[in-house]
Amino acid sequence: MRRFLFTTFMFLFVLFSLQSVSAQEVVNKGSVDLLALFDNGTSQVGSIAKLELELRPGRERVYLQAFPMTKITTQASLRFAQQVACRGLSVDCSKYDFLFTIHALPGIVGGPSAGSAAAFLTSALLLNKSLPEDVALTGTINSGGIIGPVGGVRKKVEAAANNHLRTVYVPPGAKAVEFANASISMEEFGKSLNLTVVEAPTIWEVVERELGVSFHNLSSEELMIDSEYSSKMREVSSDLCARTEGLRLGINDSRLVNFTVRAKDAFERGEYYAAASYCFRANVEYRQKSYLEKNLSLDEVESRLSRLLVDLRSLERNVKTKNLSTLTDLQTFMAVMERINEARELAGSVSDALKKNKTDAVDLAFAEERAFSAKTWARFFDGTGGNFEVNVNSLKRGCAAKISEAEERYNYVRSVIPNALENTREDIDKAYSLLRDGNFALCLYTASKAKSQADVLLGLMGVEESRFDDVIDLKLQVARNALMRAQENGVFPIIAYSYYEYARSLRDFDKVSSLLFAEYALELANLDLYFKSAQKVVTAPVESYTLFDLAILSAFVFALVVCYLQSFKTLQAPPKRRLRGKKR
């Protein structure tokens, strides 16, 4: 009996072990066509590659295996695509690994243009949806799911037609192409090749159209402004604009008056950050003009510089004692420390000038106003702002991930425009330095802004100037949606909303700055992407029961029945008589 039970136990143990191994293999898998460029040594032509993805149990690691090897920017793009899909679908991906494989011919040009396809493929597997076999995408993937422009769209569309695809999704704003002695749109060019070309602003439109998944439409809903934020930002604006009134006395400058007029209009509309920004710009220039007119002496500059440095040290000590346990406090820390560091850098320039017996009134004025701005922002520390795990490890991971994303965007832009983004390179290097020094919060913020700067230029590459307004409007709309989703998660991203408000205010007279601040808003609205939420989220789908599962269940039931019958037989058998006395 004991031998039988032991054999049964071992049999079940082996079966369950095999099932465990089987469960670790693949939860879901699929593939999608990639539109790529093939470099034949003299020119580039369109080509088709295959992107495969296996979703396995794990710890949200993203792997890439490429045949042949591809650029590091491709791997960074796939990692970000996975993050965008998980967050956009509100799926908890922390228990899964993502194994991407690219099959391509030698000579395929790598880069982030696989981002939109990767986000689409990831979304399909997370939703457990079948992938269409005759659809392809090209375009980068950006925060909020925006599909960004890439090069060689015409050649890629031609490759799709030559490979019998049905539909191709391309980034919006593609330039017209010359065809049959006429300039036609990319959609019309696709029709001439018996191909449907669709401009897709976001990956969610592709998911909805191809996978039949409807998303909550946020465009018709009102963006609710947190009352606590509004109250504090009103105070910040009032402080800065009251400062303007004092600094402008005796100085006549019509250009600076325009700043104060815009500030007043913004304040009356309830756009307090925009009003504060206009007053800050006016304050810097009024103070600079005042110092230049007074022709400050070396002693006066040195005295002001000394007081400034004392104030900065005191403010920094106070800020660094804060417990950054919420996203609101984290963003407040970022905003305050950015201003403190900028003021300190400017103070360094003033100090260097003093060593040469020179005055630097311009940088001194800017540093003083930046320090005052830091003090006003410090009032946002309040310990509220969403139930997320903001700790050293999550900050470090977020910092490293954001640097990788910034590097990917930067390198892609430089591959097209070699001399672009010099300031962005400096910001990325600064983020690396902050990472090494353990200043992970400011590293995340610096890298986020660097990535945004690259994304702005990337978003305008290949877009006709007449469509710049469309690009800005799309960016503002997606940023608004990101803010609303953050609110649904219990977070009001104070910096992101501030930048969004300012971007809207700038739209009609400073389009470049408007686009940049809209990009900042979008990037910083998604900071919770790097932190685990204590709130309940949807889990990724798992595969249904297989024949192997049923076989194990049947074997288990069979073993129980056998054990029961054997036990029953033993109980019913007559007891054996024991022989007493001597053995015969």
Over residues 362-371, mean pLDDT = 95
Write the pLDDT tens digit of every residue in 272-286.
999 999 999 999 999
Residue 332 within any structural domain of the chain: yes
* Same domain assignment for residues 73 and 200: yes
Task: Examine the pLDDT at 520 and tell me if it is beyond 80.
Answer: yes
Asked if residue 366 has pLDDT above 70, the reply is yes
Overall average pLDDT of the 34-46 stretch: 76
On whether both 184 and 232 belong to a single domain, the answer is: no
State the SS3 of 257-271: HHHHHHHHHHHHCCC
Domain match, 201 and 344 both: no
Chain Cα centroid distance, residue 453: 13
First-to-last CA distance in the chain?
Answer: 29
Name the 3-class secondary structure at 300: helix
Domain with 311 in it:
299-384
Per residue in 97-141, pLDDT (tens digit) is: 999 998 876 656 566 788 899 999 999 999 999 999 899 998 888
Q: Is residue 361 part of a domain?
A: yes
| Mean pLDDT, rounded, of the chain | 81
Residue that terminates a domain, selected from 242, 264, 294: 294
Which residues are within 8 A (CB) of 29 and not within 5 positions of it... i.e. 6 or more apart? Answer: 52, 53, 54, 55, 125
CA distance 148 to 144: 11
pTM (predicted TM-score)? 0.76
Q: Report DSSP state, residue 134.
A: T
Report if residue 527 sits inside a domain. Answer: no
What the block records as the tokens of 415 is: 């591959």
Q: Identify the pLDDT of residue 387.
A: 60
118 vs 112: CA distance, rounded Å: 10
> Residues near 94 by Cβ (< 8 Å), separated by ≥ 6?
59, 60, 532
Query: How high is the pLDDT of residue 204?
Result: 92
* Per-position DSSP letters for 8-71, written without gaps between them: HHHHHHHHHHHHHHHHHH-SEEEEEEEEEEEE-SS-EEEEEEEEEEEEEESSS-EEEEEES---
Residue 101 lies in a domain: yes
Residue type, 131: L
Looking at per-residue pLDDT, the higher value among 103 and 339 belongs to 339
Residues 43 and 99 grouped into a single domain: yes
pLDDT at 264: 94
Residue 555 lies in a domain: no
pLDDT digits (tens, 9 = 90+) for 462-471: 667 777 888 8
Q: Which of 38-47, 257-266, 345-354, 465-474 is least confident?
A: 38-47
What would the 3-class secondary structure string for 304-340 be? HHHHHHHHHHHHHHHHHCCCCCCHHHHHHHHHHHHHH
Q: How many domains does the chain have?
A: 3
Structure-block tokens of residue 406: 């910034």
User: Same structural domain for residues 41 and 106?
Assistant: yes
Do residue 239 and residue 188 come from a single domain? no
Both tokens of residue 463?
Answer: 């877009």
16 band by pLDDT with thresholds 50, 70 and 90: very low
Contacts of residue 211, defined as CB under 8 A and 6 or more positions apart, other chains included, come to 123, 124, 127, 129
Q: Kindly state whether residues 333 and 264 are assigned to the same domain.
A: no
Summarize the confidence of residues 319-335 as an average pLDDT: 85
Q: How far apart are CA 359 and CA 244, in angstroms?
A: 24
| Cβ(224)–Cβ(488) below 8 Å | no
pLDDT above 70 coverage of the chain, percent: 79
The pLDDT score that the predictor gives to residue 250 is: 77
**Residues 149 and 256 occupy one common structural domain:** no
Q: 351 with 305: CB under 8 angstroms?
A: yes
If asked whether residues 320 and 194 sit together in one domain, one would say no
- Is the pLDDT at 409 greater than 70? The verdict is yes
Query: Is residue 544's pLDDT more than 60?
Result: no
84 and 197 inside one domain:
yes
pLDDT for 219 equals 67
Domain CATH code at residue 48: 3.30.230.10
Q: What confidence tens digit (pLDDT) does each residue in 50-84 have?
A: 999 999 999 888 888 876 655 656 777 888 899 88
- The Cα–Cα gap between 289 and 171 comes to 46
For residue 282, the model assigns a pLDDT of 93
Q: Among 266, 294, 322, give the residue marking a domain's end.
A: 294
Q: Which of residues 188, 211, 234 is at a domain's end?
A: 211
Q: Is residue 499 part of a domain?
A: no
Q: Is residue 200 part of a domain?
A: yes
The confidence score (pLDDT) of residue 107 equals 57
Judge if 132 and 44 occupy the same domain.
Answer: yes
Residue 322 Rama label (left phi>0; alpha psi -120 to 50; beta)? beta
Mean pLDDT of the region 323-343: 88
What is each CA distance from 510 to 423, 424, 466, 502, in whole angstroms? 20, 20, 15, 11
Burial of 282 (0-12, 13-18, 19+ CB in 10 A): buried
φ/ψ (deg, to 5) at 381:
-70, 115
Q: Can you list the positions of beta strands (E) in 474-533?
A: none
- How far apart CA 187 and CA 168 sit, in angstroms, is 10
Domain membership flag for residue 452: no
**Confidence bin at 326 (pLDDT 50/70/90):** confident
pLDDT score for 554 = 52
Statement to judge: residues 236 and 186 lie in one domain? no
Instruction: State residue 323's pLDDT score.
Output: 79
pLDDT band at 429 (very low <50, low <70, confident <90, very high): very high
Half-sphere exposure of 158 (CA within 13 A, CB side): 11
pLDDT (tens digit per residue) in 148-201: 877 788 889 889 989 889 999 998 876 667 666 667 788 888 888 899 999 998
The model's pLDDT over 234-271, given as tens digits with 9 standing for 90+, comes to: 999 999 999 998 888 878 877 888 889 999 999 999 99
* CA–CA separation, 371 and 379 (whole Å): 14
